Structure 1
Amino acid sequence: MPVRFKASTLVLSSTFLILVSTFPPQAGAVHSKNAGPEKVELKFKLPPPKPLSPEEAMKVFQVEKGFRIELVASEPMIQAPVAMSFDDQGRLYVCEMRGYMHDLAGSTEKEPTGRVSLLEDTDGDGRMDKATAFLDKVVMPRAVMAVNGGALIAVPPQLLFCKDTDGDGVADVKEVIATDFGTLGGQPEHMANSPVWAMDNSIWSAGYSSRLKLRGGVWQKDVGLGRGQWGLCQDDHGRLYFNYNSDMLRADLLPTEAFARNPLLREASSINAKLAADQTLYASHPTPGVNRGYDAKTLSADGRLTKPTATCGALIYRGDAFPASYRGNAFVPEPAANLVKRFTMSEADGLVKATNTAKGSEFLTSTDERFRPVNACNGPDGALYLVDMYRGIIQHQSFLTHYLIANIQARKLEQPFNMGRIWRIVPEGSSAKPVKVTKDAKMLTHPNGWVRDTAQRLIVEAADASAVPALKELLQNESAIAREHALWTLDGLAAITPDLVKTALADKNEHVRAAAARVAPRDYVFDLAAEKHPLVLAHIAIKTINDAALAPLLVTHGKNALIREAALTGLRGKEAAFAKTLAQTPSDASKAVIGALAELIVLAGKAGPIAEMLELAANSPENRDTILKGLAKTDSKSKTVKLVWLEKEPEHLKQLKLASSLANRLVWPGKPGAPAPPVIKPLTETQTALFEKGKTIYATLCAACHQPHGFGLDGLAPPLVDSEWVLGKPEVLARIVMHGLAGPVKVSGRTYNLAMPPLPQLTDEDIAGVLTYIRREWEHTAGAMETKSVTAIREQEKTRSMMWTETELKNLGKKPAAQTK
């Protein structure tokens, strides 16, 4: 939990629409160490931009030829919108963060001024004309998703299910689904957001490591894997897409939950996959209002942002209103540059690539600096919808630089803060109308992906067994996408049988076959000889629990990264034994897998498996170099090395030529130059109770970023396992939890340009508990943290309001240089 950092280079906390720069985020504009130079020059001295009415804003949009933009809703009907969701009746839920940044101090963010409005178009002209405060007077809501006749609404730290049961449009049912959906207070960009009912009938969210399911009216929660910063969507096959502030599009190419089984697969290419190599921006006007505008690398010579810094709310377009060439394209908002970028997507053997479509232009731009697109959505009419927060300030006060403050003040961007729009983009001449969705299975054949998703959700929500015959019939439909939806809908109804799986595994479409592998019973025996496609084989590798059946697959296909990584997800704790099995059938493919297994074993740092792999290297000459190379691997994210204490010197060590990185890491009693073995002090009864309390707090508050396994996630949070910060002085950790930590900060030899927000809601006992937990979990042997010590530190730092910096914490207790003799 400590060191929950804010990302900058590829963030994976839940950045929001915030103007986060690709440089280290800052603790506050009054803190000279973190807010950039105090004396700044506004090189691009532009006049204060005038706030535009919706009609005026329409005139300064530049949209790709052949399209037009239309207004759906605007202030005063909605204010500061950040998220939206259509229900099956075509009504629109809009989440309004009305307390956000009314001034540079963010002084109104604790006030219950937020709301979720329910908008309706009563006359069918495409523009919302009726608004009802569905959920009112809440603090900083940040997500909404229509579901089960109501909506999931995020009001951190709670995720609520709200429903109107008497028809007045106001929620009278408010059920708490989760209590760890973000935190109360803190930076808005660090919160879980964007719940999505995906094709697998799970509800996934950005910045949140759990998945939710609704089964028979009961909410269930289980493990997943955190992803993304602000915004989440899926493609026609249920793959999840997301982004980070400075990386416009990423995806999980294989099921996210599988990788939660093996936390050491942190460098897997199959999840959190970077899709777009070229992310150059082409703003249509100077955009000086960015946090690092003073740096020559941030803006072009004429003042335009050329690289993403506030990316959020990406969308895979799945509607039927756009021309066919646009379907499946990615549309990504960049509010700092006042634009929406379009990528074309391609796929080969299960690997996805995003290509920057245009050179020198964007799908949509505006010269209005207050145009802040923060979410893109598919609609029931097949159109593309944009949530426009419409305001000058989108950088949270905790990270404002002196430069941006000067720009905001000089250009009068603080006001107004009570505007906001929803826009719709359609082709010229389009007359598409919204579709009201029912539980009819035939709707799974509709060309609009939003319609198909909604129909599937309605059938599964209702647990409507009467739909099963029609769904089975759809498995023979000419549309592969309809067959895929039918299969997943049957799975959601618990109606999948081995015969259905067998039929689907023989489907001519690889995505249907991959889905069949995913929904197959755990004990299903796959006919591997009949399958050749890498994507399907990868899904089979994930589902195959019989190691004897998995080995032949990898002997043949182990060089394919997608298949290899899929198999590795299920081999945690069995690496050495499985490597011995593969070594019996030598091939280039099996050698690739054995090398990967060796890498995982050394990353785990367990003495027994390492000794087994050394023995295998001695007895398997054809795999020796591969094994030793794998065991010599060091964590690319860490420059520190954890010693591995073996019980005795390995028998075959002398015949193996170990790389120095491995030889220096292995120690045993009596090894010349080896340090004394570590002494582990047992926890007292009181400390054990603190450990257990901290374990619970970590799971509910910290695991979303640092992950349950403690290895963190790229762009979201650094590792806690073997971190010198975790194993160092506990009084430093306590200060980080109380007041936060602003990057850059070095962890295990790697610099992270991230920031961890303070956690003021934790008591002294809570802090002592969670610090004791992370200092003793994951084979850590550091001492416990006492509650009284936390209390003393809180008293010492009672006047502090700023985040700590690495330099301050490293110099904690030292006299200033001028006083040192």
Structure 2
Amino acid sequence: MTTIKNYPLSITALSIVVLLASCNKKEKKYFDNKFTKPEIIREASSEFLSPEESMKTFHLPEGYKMELVASEPMVDEPVTIAWDGNGRLYVAEMNTYMQDVDGTGTNRSISKIKQLIDTDGDGKMDKSTVFIDSLLLPRMILPLDNGELIVNETYTYDLWKYTDTDNDGVADKKERVYYNENRRGGNLEHQQSGLLWNLDNWVYTTYNPIRFKFTKDKVLVDSVIKMPSGQWGLTQDDMGNNYYSTAGGENPGYGFQHPPIYGDYSPRERLEPGFMETWPIVGTPDVQGGPRRIKKDGTLNHFTGVAGQTIYRGHKLPENLYGDLFIPEPVGRFIRRAKIVKNEDGLKVLTNPYFETEFMASTDLNFRPVWSETGPDGTLYVVDMYRGIIQESNWTRKGSHIRPVIERKGLDKNIGRGRIYRIVHEDIQPDKQPKLLDKTSSELVEYLGHKNGWYRNTAQKLIILRADEKVIPLLKDIASNNQSLWSKWFGNDDKDYALERIHALWTLEGLGAIDESIIKEKLLDKDARVRMTAIRLSEPFLKAGNTELLNDLENLETDPSVEVVDQLALSLRFSPKDKATAILKTIQRKYAENKVISSSAYESLKKTDERLLALKERIAGRNRGSQESVLKGYDTYNQLCVTCHGPDLKGAQNEDGSLVAPPLIGSKRVKDHDSKAIRILLNGLIGEVDGTEYGVMMSLKSNSDRWIADVLSYVRAMNDEDNVDFKTVRKIRAKDKDREGYWTLKELDKIK
């Protein structure tokens, strides 16, 4: 009888033991081992290789490999990719990009966006349709709900929504959802990219200081005055911090300390010493910077062509890659992996885990990684434009350093191809294709806690676009208490419950369902990231003058997390109340030794654009038309020129303290002779400037005469000189209409 009575108990005890054992089962640990560097090929062949042959030139750490997802003729000159909720891959192609050394025919409207589908689930695309045809160099794409794609083309700020209403893989409906009468002139490399749906439900781009919010039936637009600029590529981490890069400024990562709404805080210490030095495995003769950018072994010595970076947030590669920044370098033919380490002040610092080595590198001269992305299958995708010339025609003109290299190596003949790869690990099977578009809103809520950031963000986006208020109670339950007793007791699962609460909160915000009570509750959450989120969500209430929340926020000035205190310092700028100012001053005093928090408090206490106010005061005596021209030039300068010439016009600094471009304050070309400056902007400049070689200043002649005049009027105003008349620009443009090459200062000095 005893045996029979105790038998169920024995089974129960045994079950618990088994369960506990399974809870404590350890997964395999992976380490940051670098690949064995091959002998550097100083003069590699530029011959085209098949995808299979090219993949043999790839070097990655042990266990990792590149798998081919798509290649020519399925894709041709791919530049960026994005998936819809069911895993259909949209590929933007710049089919006219640099089809010869002079860029002939670049501006023909014959580029495409294709839709690729993996019909059998093997990871390789096997069905392709032209979703949109006859485009002018499409550069930004954002899938919305089923069959909907937002698109931006080069030289315009406009956003168009294309819809496939009959599900045949071809868009049959087109409507403009955002219009800006201004056209974007200048070099096509120095234009916006992104359309990144951020955690905060705003959609961000580079360059353009505005953001968009897409809802079920409208698009909202908001100005962000001090947002980082960036160039080609935009990504975010789990907390909605955007990571920018710029090839023009040779800057692989900045603007990521805080969400973009708070401006750009990018101290030099954000990069570990030596981070800018690069480690390719093939000679790099076609670098725009010329000999100063080449090591003795013939390889690239410094980041220059950075593009298409991404934070890996997937679930089907080793866990130690999660949250790392991957930076494609198409000029150096490699991909840098950067780990993000926080110092005691909470400053995020980019580090290279591989001593004098890159994460991935190739010896194929046509390998041109221009974009990377976390895929729904949990792996890391890489877009290879696979071509000879990567620089735009402004940098390949007669007289440039690159042109003779292109002609000698025959790089101008290498066009019309492209590959898309995914990086996988031999121990981990990629996930199957998603079917989020087929899910109900309630089912989508379940994905807000998915291990893959792509799922979390996509589910959040779809719920908001559907505006389904029936899920609000479910979202509030998750935001309030989403952790089971089992996980609290045993902690056996690897789910990040705080991230699920964060996404639930932002989804509620997107549905207009955030209230004061839930913010107060989450200000006390045990996880610092959730407390930071609650602080951000309090900002609209602070703007409206809410004092009760201000009292709750005051308690966080002594929070044990410096990141929470920093977020408090950032958010209090939105309150007009004197108490908010008092709290900020207390934080500033208490954290005077913390560079991050003290900077945030200082900026919040300013609450105004001091440079703009100083400029307006400087030009107060000029007539209205002159003032308007200078202020337009100020806006343009901060979108386009600031990354090289710096916000103070004294030249942006490289890591070693050298300048990216010559200073404009006190410049003889700016002060003494406005025709010299006009000619430089129209045709560009090459050669030494005041004894220093900076590389090529690109031509901006594709912009209007007024645009040129406005920019120069701003630069001259900062030197206390008169405005430039657009008629003068028109006259000089006509006089030099047959000139194709860059100017040198020796040539300009001869012009009277």
TM-based fold match above 0.5: yes
Secondary structure class of the residue paired with 1:543: helix
Match status 1:493 vs 2:511: yes
Counterpart residue identity of residue 177, structure 1: Y
SS state of the match for residue 188, structure 1? coil
Aligned length: 657
Q: 2:458 aligns with which of 454, 457, 472?
A: 454
| Alignment of 1:477 onto 2:482 | yes
Q: Do structure 1's residue 209 and structure 2's residue 216 form an aligned pair?
A: no
State the shift of 1:693 in Å.
6.7
What is the CA deviation profile of residues 458-495 of structure 1, one whole-angstrom value per residue up to 9, with x for unaligned ones?
12222332222111111222411111111222222222
Q: Call closer, same or farther: CA 1:573–1:724 in 2, change over 3 Å.
A: farther
Q: Check if 1:797 corresponds to 2:736.
A: yes
The structure 1 residue matched to 2:445, chosen from 421, 441, 453, is 441
Give the whole-Å Cα distance in 2 for the aligned partners of 1:406 and 1:271: 35
Matched, 1:162 2:161: yes
Aligned twin of 2:601: 567
Question: Which amino acid in 1 is paired with 2:639?
Answer: A
Distance in 1 separating the partners of 2:375 and 2:462:
17
Matched, 1:70 2:67: yes
Q: Higher helix proportion, which one?
A: 2
Equivalent residue of 1:346, what SS? strand
Structure 1: which amino acid aligns with 2:470? S
Instruction: Please list the CA deviations of residues 584-623 of structure 1 after superposition, one character each: whole Å capped at 9, or x if unmatched.
Output: xxxxxxxxxxxxxxxx98x8997xxxxxxxxxxxxxxxxx
**Pair 1:101–1:770, CA change in 2 (3 A):** closer
* 1:667-699 deviation digits (Å, cap 9, x = unpaired): xxxxxxxxxxx998652xxxx346547756864
> Which residue, 230, 238, 241 being the options, matches 2:240?
238
Deviations 1:417-455 (A, max 9, x none): 000011011111414212222442121100001110111
Q: 2 CA distance for matches of 1:402 and 1:750? A: 16
Residue number in structure 2 paired with 1:407: 405
Indicate which of 382, 385, 390 corresponds to 1:386.
Answer: 382
Structure 1 partner of 2:559: 531
Secondary structure, counterpart of 1:331 in structure 2 = strand
Residue 523 of structure 2 aligns with which residue?
505
Letter in 1 for 2:50: S
> Offset at 1:298?
0.8
1:97 pairs, out of 80, 94, 98, with 94
Q: Secondary structure of the residue that 1:342 maps to in structure 2?
A: strand
Q: 2:588 aligns with which of 535, 544, 554?
A: 554
1:705 and 2:635 correspond: no
Superposition RMSD in Å: 3.6
Q: Which amino acid aligns with 2:567?
A: H
CA, structure 1 residues 813+53, in 2 after alignment: closer, same or farther (shift >3 Å)?
Answer: closer
Paired letter, 2:513: A
Query: For residues 552-571 of structure 1, what are the alpha-carbon distances to aligned partners after superposition, in whole Å with 9 as ceiling and x for unaligned?
Result: 22222233121111122233
Matched, 1:253 2:188: no
List runs of 5+ in structure 2 lacking aligned partners: 1-39, 484-496, 654-659
Return closer, same or farther for 1:488/1:423 CA change in 2, 3 Å cut-off.
Answer: same
Partner SS for 2:138: coil
Contact 1:705 1:717 in 2 (8 A): no
- Report if the CA contact (8 A) 1:70-1:423 is conserved: yes
Higher relative contact order (CA 8 A, sep 6+): 1
In the alignment, residue 792 of structure 1 is paired with which amino acid?
K
CA distance in 1, matches of 2:362, 2:394: 27
Q: Is the 8 A contact 2:686 2:696 kept in 1?
A: yes
Counterpart-to-counterpart distance in 2, 1:91 and 1:269: 36
Q: Which residue is 1:397 aligned to? A: 393
Provide the rounded CA distance (Å) in 2 between the counterparts of 1:604 and 1:107: 40
Structure-2 change in CA distance of 1:102 and 1:131 (3 Å): same
Give the structure 2 partner of residue 6 of structure 1: none
Q: 1:548 to 1:313 in 2, by over 3 A?
A: same
TM-aligned CA deviation for residue 806 of structure 1: 4.9
CA shift digits 1:758-790 (9 cap, x unpaired): 143414x555566556666x8x86434445434
Tell me, what secondary structure is at the counterpart of 1:143?
A: strand
Displacement, 1:328?
1.4
Q: 1:702 to 1:293 in 2, by over 3 A?
A: closer
How far residue 727 of structure 1 moved from its aligned partner, in angstroms, is: 6.1
SS of the residue 2:605 aligns to: coil
Equivalent-residue separation in structure 2 for 1:135 and 1:371 (angstroms): 26
CA contact (8 A) 1:745 1:753 kept: no
CA-to-aligned-CA distance 1:224-247 (integer Å, 9 cap, x gap): 313323211111111111323334
Superposition TM-score, scaled by structure 2 size: 0.79
Determine whether 1:319 maps to 2:314.
Answer: yes
| Alpha-carbon distance in 2 for matches of 1:679, 1:711 | 16
Residue number in structure 1 paired with 2:700: 758
Amino acid at match of 1:705: L
Matches within 5 A, 1:53-68: 53-68=50-65
Q: Tell me: CA distance 1:745–1:89, structure 2 relative to 1, closer, same or farther (3 Å).
A: farther
Alpha-carbon distance between aligned partners in 2 of 1:399 and 1:197, rounded to the nearest angstrom:
32
| Equivalent position SS for 1:192 | coil
Q: Which amino acid aligns with 1:300?
A: K
8 Å contact from structure 2 (residues 379, 430) kept in 1: no
SS at match of 1:252: coil
Distance 1:315 1:413 in 2: 28
CA distance in 1: counterparts of 2:165 and 2:409, whole angstroms: 48
Match of 1:190, SS? coil
In percent, how many aligned pairs have the same letter?
32
Corresponding residue for 2:32? none
Work out whether residues 711 and 718 of structure 1, in 8 Å CA contact, stay in contact via their aligned partners in 2: no
Give SS of 1:344's match: strand
Question: What secondary structure does 1:290 align onto?
Answer: coil
Q: Deviations over 1:64-107 (max 9, x none)?
A: 21123211111111111111111111011111111111111111
Q: How does 1:425-436 map to 2 (within 5 A)?
A: 425-429=423-427, 430-436=429-435
**Are 2:573 and 1:541 equivalent residues in the alignment?**
no
Q: Whole-Å Cα distance in 1 between the matches of residues 736 and 423 of structure 2?
A: 52
**Shift of the alpha carbon at 1:757?**
3.2
Counterparts in 2 of 1:682 and 1:415: CA distance versus 1, 3 Å: closer
Q: Aligned partners of 2:675, 2:400: CA distance in 1, in Å?
A: 31
Describe the shift of the 1:812–1:222 C-alpha distance in structure 2 as closer, same or farther (beyond 3 A).
farther
- Provide Cα deviations, 1:317-337, integer angstroms capped at 9, x if missing partner: 100001211211222212223
Alignment partners' CA distance in 2, 1:164 and 1:451 = 22
Residues 141-180 of structure 1: CA deviation (Å, up to 9, x unaligned)? 2232223442232312224233224223333214152548
Q: Is the 8 A contact 2:51 2:71 kept in 1?
A: yes
| Matches for 1:42-441 after TM superposition, within 5 Å | 46=43, 48-149=45-146, 150-158=148-156, 159-167=158-166, 168-171=168-171, 172-175=173-176, 177-179=178-180, 183-184=184-185, 186-224=186-224, 225-245=227-247, 246-259=250-263, 268-269=265-266, 273-274=270-271, 277-292=274-289, 294=291, 298-301=294-297, 303-348=298-343, 349-400=345-396, 403-429=401-427, 430-437=429-436, 438=439, 439=441, 440-441=444-445
Contact 1:234 1:241 in 2 (8 A): yes
Is the contact between residue 86 and residue 146 of structure 1 (CA under 8 Å) also seen in structure 2? yes
Aligned counterpart, 1:518: 536
Structure 1: distance between partners of 2:319 and 2:666: 51
| Alpha-carbon distance in 2 for matches of 1:361, 1:341 | 9
Query: Per the alignment, do residues 726 and 252 of structure 1 end up closer, same or farther by CA in structure 2, a change over 3 Å counting?
Result: farther
**8 Å Cα contact 1:690-1:768 kept in structure 2:** no
Task: Judge conservation of contact 2:44–2:363 (CA < 8 Å) in 1.
Answer: no
> Structure 1 length as normaliser, TM-score?
0.72
Letter in 1 for 2:184: T
